[in-house]
Amino acid sequence: MAHLEHQIAALRRAMADPAPVAIEDLLVLRDLGGTSIRPMDPPPGVTPREAAVLVLLYPGEGELWLPLTVRSARLTTHRGEVSLPGGGTDPDDGGPVGTALREAWEELGIRPANVEVLGTLTAFYIPPSNNRLTPVVGLSIGELDLRPDPDEVEAAFSVPLRILLDPATIQEEVWERRGLRMRVPYFALEGYKVWGATALLLSELVARLRRAGL
């Protein structure tokens, strides 16, 4: 129990710290020389759709866990990728927090009343879907009973926070896309390569937690 309480206290400190995380500490696409090639903002003149995801930590077996989803093959973008519950903001959401809580309820059956919202991570642009994504960080009041919606979620699984914090979990490959070779860092979790937007936001959370003493 002491370990769980230590993790929760560090999480609260991490989310209360307004200092930004340097791009060097984030898992982003880089050229072979190590320079980031990922756009964090939309191109001039482009208006992105606002979107949000819920990064939810919940207690179990004396430590914090994080639920992740595998996106359904029925979806139009990012099919089969590991993600977090989330989506585009609706007019009635009232902002990213409302979006994240609504989507977590729709995708995984997580009740909004059981989530304590701790804050948000840095919002960033996702070119393929033209979304400006705000990660919302929350703490579950108790353990979760995940109920994935098969129309949106192929599978759901959870990983302990300590695995995210283990440097050995971070790996890297060189990929070639549209004739450009690039370094692609990712979290190796449960046999999946968690890269792209999900890796970016999780690496910010990890950097903040380490700064907070985990």
What pTM was estimated for this model as a whole? Answer: 0.94
Which pair of structure tokens corresponds to residue 111?
């009740």
Q: What is the pLDDT of residue 80?
A: 62
What phi and psi values does residue 9 have, to the nearest 5 degrees?
-60, -40
Mean pLDDT of the region 190-200: 95
Q: What is the pLDDT of residue 79?
A: 53
In the chain, DSSP assigns E strands to 49-60, 63-71, 82-83, 86-88, 115-120, 124-126, 131-140, 153-160, 170-177, 180-189, 192-194
Q: What is the pLDDT of residue 74?
A: 53
Q: Fold for 2-27+41-166+198-211, please state it.
A: Nucleoside Triphosphate Pyrophosphohydrolase (3.90.79)
Neighbours of 21 (CB within 10 A): 18
Question: Per-domain residue ranges for the chain?
Answer: 2-27+41-166+198-211
Give tens-digit pLDDT for 59-110: 999 999 999 999 765 545 545 689 999 999 999 999 999 999 999 999 999 9
Share of the chain above pLDDT 70, in %: 95
Q: What is the pLDDT of residue 142?
A: 80
Mean pLDDT of the region 22-37: 96
Which pair of structure tokens corresponds to residue 34?
């190590």
